[in-house]
Amino acid sequence: MFDKVLVANRGEIAMRVIRGCRDLGIRTVAVHSEADRNAAFTVLADEAVEIGPAPSAQSYLVIDRVIDAAKQTGAQAIHPGYGFLSENAAFARACADSGIVFVGPPPEAMSAMGEKVPARERMRASGVPIVPGTGAITTAEEAVSAAAEIGYPVLIKASAGGGGIGMKIVRSEPDLRDALDTAQSTARRAFGNDTVFLERYLDEPRHIEIQVLADQHGHVVHLGERECSIQRRHQKIVEETPSPVIDAEMRARMGNDAVTAARAVGYVNAGTVEFIYRDGEYYFLEMNTRLQVEHPITELVYGVDLVAEQLRIAAGEPLELRQQDLQPHGHAIECRVNAENPAKGFLPSPGQVTGYHEPAGPGVRVDSSLVAPALVSPNYDPMIAKLIVHAAGRGAALDRMRRALLEYVITGIHTNVSYHLALLSQPEFRAGRYSTHFIDQHPELIDDALVWAERQEPLRRLVRDPARVAAIAAAIVSA
């Protein structure tokens, strides 16, 4: 096992990886920008190295500076977390060239899954079901001909993309030409690659993903599914496992296909195979060649520390997990807590946190970038925490999450905590009847969130002015 690991990330995922390392007795190095000089993760790590100004393009994304920090501190391995350099094959190669272990898949596997068009063809050849679609499309004439064969509506997608960037839904031929130009130009600006392709668009689908682990000795297992259909602008905000619509037989089928997908590219370490699901049928979407934001719900339901497994695999140890032993126990839900204002179109809300109170109690876990009042920087993603609960069943987990959300107070900035309360109380969601369009179909949740915010106000007042409360308490005691 490694003696020292550098964590090439920030915020809550840096905190999570540092904790995982400490559980294994591994010393840690945090790299950070100027803006994160006093962040909690830099304090938690054993060592910290500043690598540049606040913009990530001048700090967290500069490969040479991250590698130099590892060499300077004697770190034997680098854990990239998610985002930033986590799916950058050039970074993985740079680590190898410097004699540093990259805690993730080989760069060849990363490249094989990094672009969607070749990944689709590889999955087709392996027998993994893929959404009917095309290879790379370059002209409007090709697109019109292909769409006629696939059938409308179709989805234009960027081959090198992610997060919905460059994605366009087209429901008729007249709209296809303009949509194609827009998608190509967006992909070119975002990814430096304007390759796009078409897929059949499935109305009211669900987004189901399968967690896999693969060691360096040819052993691959899956750890069930995560339901990730509650999305806003193609970004997940709530995840749960098990999915309300996946039974044991379907879980085994999808899990086997996920394992096949991993084997097809010589995958090693933790990864996630994403599927689109509707009415008992599912199709391969893509593979995320890293640890996912929503990994904690899998950890709670399967009793596996995924970060520890990543480190063991990277150190060359064989997996001790066996597929027949990996069975789900209970139900887990994760809510992503973002610094944003739902009432103003989810506008990001960075700034000074003046009061911070985390929920606790049975079955509650908080993975947060905050441990106390601090500055939320405008330079990075607005997600500041993940609230995760675990209970015996889905109903109990929903109730536990509501209780935990009511206790979660962050003052000084806007967050989506009250929006989560509104969402989890919505009858269709509680019944498990939802798709990736759920948020768009329920605009009333914005107003409902304001009502839930009022229920939190007494605790918010307490958190906002702890000094006054302490003074009152001291006066009562002295009297």
Using alpha carbons only, give the angle 262, 241, 329 rounded to the nearest 5 degrees.
Answer: 100
Look-up of token digits 């803006």:
35
> How far apart are the C-alpha atoms of 365 and 26, rounded to whole Å?
23
Is-contact 273 221, C-beta < 8 A? no
394-407 vs 417-424: helix crossing angle, rounded to 10: 150
With H, G, I as helix, E, B as strand and everything else as coil, classify residue 212. Answer: strand
Q: What are the φ/ψ torsions at residue 389 (nearest 5 degrees)? A: -130, 155
> How far apart are the C-alpha atoms of 98 and 318, rounded to whole Å?
24
User: 253 catalytic, yes or no?
Assistant: no
Residue 338: closest CA among 290, 281, 380:
380
**Active-site entry in 10, 120, 226, 290:** 290
Distances, alpha carbon 83 to alpha carbons 64, 381, 391, in Å: 17, 10, 29
* Pairing mode of beta strands 154-158, 220-232: unpaired
With the C-alpha atoms ordered 462, 464, 470, 472, is the resulting torsion angle positive or negative? negative
Can you give the length of the chain in residues? 479
Instruction: HSE, CB side, 13 Å, CA atoms: give it for residue 63.
Output: 16
Structure tokens belonging to residue 153: 């509506």
Is-contact 245 228, C-beta < 8 A? no
Is-contact 369 15, C-beta < 8 A? yes
Partners of 366 in beta bridges? 387
> How far apart are the C-alpha atoms of 237 and 382, rounded to whole Å?
12
> How far apart are the C-alpha atoms of 233 and 390, rounded to whole Å?
27
Indicate which residues carry an active-site annotation. Answer: 290
